[in-house]
């Protein structure tokens, strides 16, 4: 009986370790997209990667965020000799779908983020940022970064996704609140309840 129990325990541990090993290369996307298909290839993100985006505001945001997360400087125009490029564009054929709907397709040579509206493009960008390996986020000084290739189709499961920040009872700096907003965006929250004042006083730095 003891031999059977020991054999069962060893088998269970082996299965668990195999599952962990299989899962460890999958980025922890939060929230998990509606549909995800992981591919075997890798997309090489580097200083030579070109970017195409008609919205100057979204383009500048994407470039600055990639610089912040990895240290990589993207080109605002797709270089003719570049082996990789990122395309961010609205697609009018998707307009019947959710305002925050987006498609993210990553091959070994190209990243495409498509959405009916810019709000969806912004959500797709956050998913791409989450695909950057955590080790890169720590060093923030890379020349090249390998991104998992995948096909993602996503929209929010809930219309209201919010957090409360109570500034009335504790002093909070402007930089802290800006960082807090960045984190909300990263995890696709869309509502911030900024509780500025109460009987205690005015705490936020202006």
Exposure string of 8-20, with b = 16+ CB inside 10 Å and e = fewer, is: eeeeeeeeeeeee
pLDDT tier, 19 (very low <50, low <70, confident <90, very high otherwise) = very low
Q: Are residues 109 and 170 in the same domain?
A: no
Give the integer Cα–Cα distance in Å for 182 and 12. Answer: 41
Q: How many domains does the chain have?
A: 2
Q: Is 6 exposed, middle or buried (0-12, 13-18, 19+ CB in 10 A)?
A: exposed
User: For residue 78, what pLDDT is reported?
Assistant: 54
Structure tokens at 93: 């054929």
Q: What is the pLDDT of residues 118-167, one digit of tens each?
A: 999 999 999 999 999 987 766 667 789 999 999 999 999 999 999 999 88
> What single-letter DSSP state applies at residue 160?
-
In a domain, 15, yes or no: no
Q: Are residues 80 and 168 in the same domain?
A: no
Q: Is the pLDDT of residue 16 over 70?
A: no
Give the integer Cα–Cα distance in Å for 152 and 85. Answer: 18
CATH number of the domain within which 119 lies: 3.30.379.10
Q: Are residues 74 and 108 in the same domain?
A: yes
User: For residue 143, what pLDDT is reported?
Assistant: 84
In a domain, 92, yes or no: yes
Q: Which of 154, 149, 128 is nearest to 61 (CA)?
A: 128
User: For residue 205, what pLDDT is reported?
Assistant: 66
Q: Is the pLDDT of residue 6 over 80?
A: no
The domain containing residue 193 runs over which residues? 162-202
Q: What is the pLDDT of residues 46-92, one digit of tens each?
A: 999 999 998 999 999 999 999 999 999 997 765 555 678 999 999 99
User: For residue 17, what pLDDT is reported?
Assistant: 45
Q: Which of 116, 133, 154 is the last residue of a domain?
A: 154
pLDDT tier, 174 (very low <50, low <70, confident <90, very high otherwise) = confident
Q: Is 155 exposed, middle or buried (0-12, 13-18, 19+ CB in 10 A)?
A: middle
Q: Which of 41, 44, 39, 45 is nearest to 151 (CA)?
A: 39
User: For residue 25, what pLDDT is reported?
Assistant: 65
Q: Which residue has the higher pLDDT, 5 or 26?
A: 26
pTM for the full model?
A: 0.82
Asked if 155 and 97 touch (Cβ cutoff 8 Å), the reply is: yes
Q: What is the pLDDT of residues 99-109, one digit of tens each?
A: 999 999 999 99
In a domain, 25, yes or no: no
Q: Are residues 96 and 183 in the same domain?
A: no
In a domain, 7, yes or no: no
In a domain, 149, yes or no: yes
In a domain, 117, yes or no: yes
Q: Are residues 117 and 182 in the same domain?
A: no
User: For residue 80, what pLDDT is reported?
Assistant: 55
Q: Which of 180, 189, 112 is nearest to 157 (CA)?
A: 189
> What single-letter DSSP state applies at residue 93?
G
Q: Are residues 106 and 139 in the same domain?
A: yes
Q: Which H helix or E strand runs over 71?
A: none
């Amino acid at each position: 009986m003891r031999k059977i129990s020991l054999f069962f325990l060893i088998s269970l541990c082996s299965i668990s370790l195999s599952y962990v090993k299989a899962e460890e290369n999958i980025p922890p996307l939060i929230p998990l997209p509606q549909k995800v298909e992981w591919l075997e290839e890798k997309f090489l993100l580097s200083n030579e990667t070109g970017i195409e985006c008609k919205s100057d505001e979204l383009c500048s945001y994407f470039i600055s965020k990639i610089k912040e997360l990895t240290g990589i400087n993207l080109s605002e125009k797709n270089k003719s000799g570049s082996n990789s490029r990122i395309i961010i564009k609205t697609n009018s054929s998707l307009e019947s779908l959710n305002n925050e709907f987006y498609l993210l397709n990553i091959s070994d040579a190209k990243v495409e983020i498509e959405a009916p509206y810019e709000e969806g493009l912004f959500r797709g960008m956050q998913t791409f940022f989450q695909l950057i390996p955590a080790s890169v986020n720590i060093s923030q000084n890379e020349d090249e970064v390998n991104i998992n290739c995948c096909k993602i189709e996503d929209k929010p499961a809930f219309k209201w996704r919010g957090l409360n920040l109570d500034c009335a009872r504790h002093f909070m700096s402007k930089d802290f609140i800006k960082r807090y907003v960045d984190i909300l965006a990263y995890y696709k929250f869309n509502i911030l309840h900024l509780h500025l004042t109460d009987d205690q006083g005015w705490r936020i730095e202006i």
